Amino acid sequence: MSDPGNYAGSTDRSIGQLVASATAEMSALVHDEIALAKAEVRQDVKRGAIGSAAFIAAGVLLLFTMPMLSFAAAYGIHNLGLGLAWSFLIVAGAFILLAALIAFIGLRKFKKIKPPEKSIASAKQTAAVLQKAKPHPRPSIEAAAIIERSAVSGSSLAKKSIESGSGQDKAGSVARSST
């Protein structure tokens, strides 16, 4: 940011010029802060994308190694003297138990999920404040002005109310209902 004392004739500047200068400098500062935030977010998103791609690649490689490990485990059990079919069944049973354990852990974690209590409380508080708030009072339109506008537009209701003398009451009720 620039120093206001460096301007030629800075002591002769009016209050309006000082306010305009401060506003321009504040605007530039806000724009620079927004640009910095955008750059930081872009950099974090790029890092996150590269990290996600690395995890996906690792998961795919692990997925491709599972059949090899399964065959190795089954043939290892077979070398201990068990039949080949029983060896594959034991490995399959181990995978089923492992899947059940992981599902149980996941289910317990899902049960611990709670609604966003702070956000809900804040929203309820805001709604309560807004319900108690009164709208900004609008200036009411005088009944005579409503009757004149209706008469100019050729409304038969306005003509009847003018003739019957009850135009003031009806126009007042219209004015109250329109606010």
2-6, 65-69, 96-100, 128-132: segment of lowest average pLDDT: 2-6
State what percent of residues in the chain have pLDDT above 90: 30
The single residue listed with the structure tokens 């003031």 is 168
Least confident of 102-111, 128-137, 162-171: 162-171
Distance CA 100, CA 108 (A): 12
pTM of the model: 0.41
Using alpha carbons, list the distances in angstroms from residue 144 to 155, 166, 175.
Answer: 14, 11, 10
Q: Is it the case that residue 52 has pLDDT exceeding 50?
A: yes
pLDDT at 160: 54
Integer CA distances (angstroms), 26 to 7, 31, 93, 177, in order: 18, 9, 68, 45
Q: Kindly report the CA angle at 126 between 123 and 129, in degrees rounded to 5?
A: 150
Give the per-residue pLDDT at 104.
95
List, in order, residues 6 or more apart from 10 with CB less than 8 Å away: 4
pLDDT of residue 115: 81
pLDDT of 177 higher than 80: no
Residue 134 has φ and ψ, to the nearest 5°, of -100, 145
How much is the pLDDT for 145? 64
Written as one string, the DSSP assignment of 81-92 is T--HHHHHHHHH
Query: Contact at 8 Å (CB) between 25 and 2?
Result: yes
In tens, the pLDDT along 14-45 reads 888 888 888 888 888 888 888 888 888 888 88
Q: Which of the pair, 135 or 86, is modelled with greater confidence? A: 86
Residues 69-98 have a mean pLDDT of 93
Contacts of 159 (CB under 8 A, 6+ apart): 151
Given a cut of 90, is residue 96 above it in pLDDT?
A: yes
Q: Is the pLDDT score of 178 beyond 50?
A: no
